[in-house]
Structure 1
Amino acid sequence: MQPTGHLRGDFVRVAGDARQRFYDSRGYGRPLSGDEIALSRVEAAHLLFRGDLSGVVLDGEETDATSGDDREVGFERFFVESAAAADRFAVRYLVYSDLRDRGFYLSPAREPWPGGDAAVADAVDFVAYERGSTPDTGDVKYPVQVVGERESVPAAGLAGRTLAVVDEESDITYFAADDGAIEGDTAYEPPAQTTGVLLADRVVVWDAPADLYERGFYGQPLTGRAAAVDGALQLSLVEAAALAADGRLSLSASVDAAGRGGAESDGTADETTPDGPAAAIVARGRAVEGERFDRRLAVYRSLREADAVPKTGFKFGADFRTYLDVETVDDLPHSEHLVRVVEPDHRFSPRELSLDVRLAGGVRKEMVFALTGVGDGTDGAGGWAGTDSRGRTDADVEWLSVGRLTP
């Protein structure tokens, strides 16, 4: 005969041989005195569904006035009552049951349950232990955060968690979120003196050193059939701003978005020149793109400083794609990452996250999100907070890699 549970607040108390039957042998619940255990509502519902509990006596409904017997409820009533009483019970139950069926022991990630000892974020619902591990051994495999399809998920601090997204048809998709810091091996130093012309939304270098493109993978050559112009290289505003901020690019002139010519730059980019080439390029970037330009520039420069090569990710719906080891564009490897730049307070919708991750996986790339606060407000001096007028920044970038997971 299967034991009966008694609901006490937010847990179900089970007596008899419950400790040996459920906790010691199968990792359910937490020990109380003697052989009694406490089960979370989700654990109790799972055992009811499996038929391992005969029923649960609800708080305040202990005795039938006519027969004097305890009034037990089955899975259906207990599930409905718990869904009304406990936050997000239904989606948490679905994930718990799925992972149990996959062979994992799980515990609620809060005190006084065994999983409450794990060093995980407050948003984590369960910890799933390594196969073969129990709550006593504490070898956590997945810190699981359960999310409904219509909820949102803060991007900040998400690294280290497993997202279990339950859609409207109760299917579950798992995502692994990890530190996505990108480190490359592209050993290239751009030439010290390059001069370009600032156009409406790009910079053209008419006599670019050959290795700027061929080895550094900067820009795109201006080419065509029977071209009479040789050595012209088009730089994006982000590429040009980064080169100018490092003192490697000067401007001979500029043309604004309306086609009007501008004053020639003095060609310098030192600390005492407020209107140097970097300032002009950053100002143009802000004019055509708004505050996103500063965030993308900060991430671009961080990637270059990490010896990775970022190029536009437009074709993939991202800000950048990255190459880790470029020796020459004639022997170019496949790009390894797609990078999307977001604000630190960005909140993912599960649909948005699924779309990005699915697309990256479909083209055999890793999806990385770069969180940076650059561009979140004005600094009172004509620039955006975190980035000076010449595109230099000391802003932190938090890297977040998200991929599909099959537990």
Structure 2
Amino acid sequence: MDGRLRDDEVVVGGDARQRYYDSSGYGRPLEENRVALSRVEAAYLLFKGDMDSVVRDTPGSRPEADETRMGFREFLADAGDEIATRFLVYADLRDRGFYLSPAREGWVDAPRSNADFVVYPRGKGPWDDAVLYRVRVVGERADVPADELGDVVLAVVDEESEITYLETDRADLRGSSATDLPAGVPADLLDDRVLVWDPPEVLHHRGFYGQPLDDRDGDRDSALQLSLVEAAYLADDGVLSLGGGAETVRERGRAVEGERFDRRLRVYRALRERGVVPKTGFKFGSDFRTYADVESVEELGHSECLVRVLPADRVFSPRDLALDVRLAHGVRKRMIFALVGPNERITDWISVGRLTP
């Protein structure tokens, strides 16, 4: 069976609707049992031998006997760079047993600009009202704006045509960690940290703030070291009393970190307000590691998430995303990106993880 290339789709007649759409979810149905296939769908059918050739349909074309028929190789070359990586992902998902459609007008309702394909659950197809994944195809050297992530699967095609699937969702970090703290606790700013010389026990052992200066012998009267982010948060809330107040701590934070400090402080506060305890994530290459349910330091479990704080206009490379996800997966944690826009407003929380479709 042959198809005719018209503009950006391949139209197939005869019993094409029954053969392609009704039985296997290819294309979109037209009148008289015809179907329209996207270039990627047509390329896959040619590759599998389920369609014989494609003929370019142009005004004033030569008689059918003289028309040049394109097989898979010629058709793929004719499309140029437009479908090369998308074909690889389409073929991989089809070979895994999924039906999928191009995310474009006519094929799916309300297509999204950040997706190339809509993938249906196994056993479902374009005639069902069910979507499993929305997939965006990128090469390993592509730019991926942060504001285009969330509710989409990135299919990253590397230079050897291996495909890595990264699932991105919007995260809602919530916990049950909450502690009533005293007010006006004396503290001193020393270099890039704050020391509380006579800390109330609740500050560290219940609230999980700071690190005891020397707690190897279990001495609960040890001075408590606070990071600048922790100290700024506590000073803002009136828990700490130090010379110059909270603004002095923020100024020191900006001096050592620049504008990054204000973004991190904004996210730290948001996590605490959500009942989540953030602690430094330096060992894991992130800004914070988080604990959702802290009752006491003695009964502390493992942290659940790694959080990186980034400007909302951040543009990722797929390689950077893969590195972060690999690290988080290796320590059994969830990778979260907190995006902070103008005026220190958190615009989104994006979760990214490996996916095996």
Asked if TM exceeds 0.5, the reply is yes
In structure 1, which of residues 94, 98, 119 is the aligned counterpart of residue 92 of structure 2?
98
Corresponding position: 1:321 with 2:289: yes
Instruction: Report the AA paired with residue 251 of structure 2.
Output: A
Corresponding position: 1:125 with 2:116: yes
Counterparts in 2 of 1:112 and 1:397: CA distance versus 1, 3 Å? closer
Distance in 2 between the 1:400 and 1:228 partners?
A: 40
In structure 1, which of residues 200, 220, 223 is the aligned counterpart of residue 211 of structure 2?
220
Q: Secondary structure at the match of 1:333?
A: coil
Instruction: Report the AA paired with residue 364 of structure 1.
Output: R
Q: Secondary structure at the match of 1:6?
A: strand
CA contact (8 A) 2:136 2:152 kept: yes
Instruction: Give 1:284 deviation, angstroms.
Output: 0.6
Instruction: Give 1:69 deviation, angstroms.
Output: 4.0
* Residue in 1 that maps onto 2:163: 172
State, as a whole percentage, how many aligned pairs show the same letter: 59
Corresponding position: 1:310 with 2:278: yes
* Residue in 1 that maps onto 2:13: 15
* Residue in 2 that maps onto 1:406: 356
Instruction: Give 1:137 deviation, angstroms.
Output: 1.1
Instruction: Report the AA paired with residue 404 of structure 1.
Output: R
Q: How does 1:126-205 map to 2 (within 5 A)?
A: 126-205=117-196
Segment drifting more, 147-156 vs 55-64: 55-64
In structure 1, which of residues 333, 336, 339 is the aligned counterpart of residue 301 of structure 2?
333
Counterparts in 2 of 1:157 and 1:190: CA distance versus 1, 3 Å? farther
Q: Secondary structure at the match of 1:401?
A: strand
Q: How does 1:38-49 map to 2 (within 5 A)?
A: 38-49=36-47
CA contact (8 A) 2:114 2:152 kept: no
CA contact (8 A) 2:199 2:221 kept: no
Instruction: Give 1:404 deviation, angstroms.
Output: 0.5
Q: Secondary structure at the match of 2:266?
A: helix
Corresponding position: 1:294 with 2:262: yes
Kindly provide the CA deviation profile for residues 310-329 of structure 1, in whole angstroms up to 9, marking residues without a partner as x: 00000000000001111111
Instruction: Give 1:60 deviation, angstroms.
Output: 4.3
Distance in 1 between the 2:348 and 2:28 partners?
A: 37
CA contact (8 A) 2:114 2:148 kept: no
Distance in 1 between the 2:219 and 2:46 partners?
A: 80
Distance in 2 between the 1:173 and 1:396 partners?
A: 29
CA contact (8 A) 2:215 2:222 kept: no
* Residue in 2 that maps onto 1:381: none
* Residue in 1 that maps onto 2:318: 350
Q: How does 1:19-34 map to 2 (within 5 A)?
A: 19-34=17-32
Give the alignment's Cα RMSD to 1 decimal: 1.9
Instruction: Report the AA paired with residue 175 of structure 1.
Output: L
Instruction: Give 1:200 deviation, angstroms.
Output: 1.1
| TM-score between the two structures when normalised by the length of structure 1 | 0.84
Displaced runs of 4+ in structure 1, greater than 3 A?
Answer: 59-65, 67-70, 224-230
Distance in 2 between the 1:61 and 1:314 partners?
A: 64
CA contact (8 A) 1:61 1:71 kept: no
Distance in 1 between the 2:186 and 2:299 partners?
A: 27
CA contact (8 A) 1:129 1:138 kept: no
| TM-score between the two structures when normalised by the length of structure 2 | 0.96
CA contact (8 A) 1:204 1:235 kept: yes
Name structure 2 gaps, 5 residues minimum: none
* Residue in 1 that maps onto 2:229: 238
Instruction: Give 1:188 deviation, angstroms.
Output: 1.1
Instruction: Give 1:63 deviation, angstroms.
Output: 6.3
Segment drifting more, 92-101 vs 56-65: 56-65
* Residue in 2 that maps onto 1:382: none
* Residue in 2 that maps onto 1:71: 68
Distance in 2 between the 1:12 and 1:54 partners?
A: 13
* Residue in 1 that maps onto 2:35: 37
Corresponding position: 1:208 with 2:199: yes
Aligned length: 357
Instruction: Give 1:138 deviation, angstroms.
Output: 2.9
CA contact (8 A) 1:63 1:71 kept: no
Q: Secondary structure at the match of 2:90?
A: helix
Q: Secondary structure at the match of 1:68?
A: helix
Q: Secondary structure at the match of 1:341?
A: strand
Instruction: Give 1:190 deviation, angstroms.
Output: 2.1
Greater Rg by CA: 1
Instruction: Give 1:62 deviation, angstroms.
Output: 8.9
Instruction: Give 1:55 deviation, angstroms.
Output: 0.6
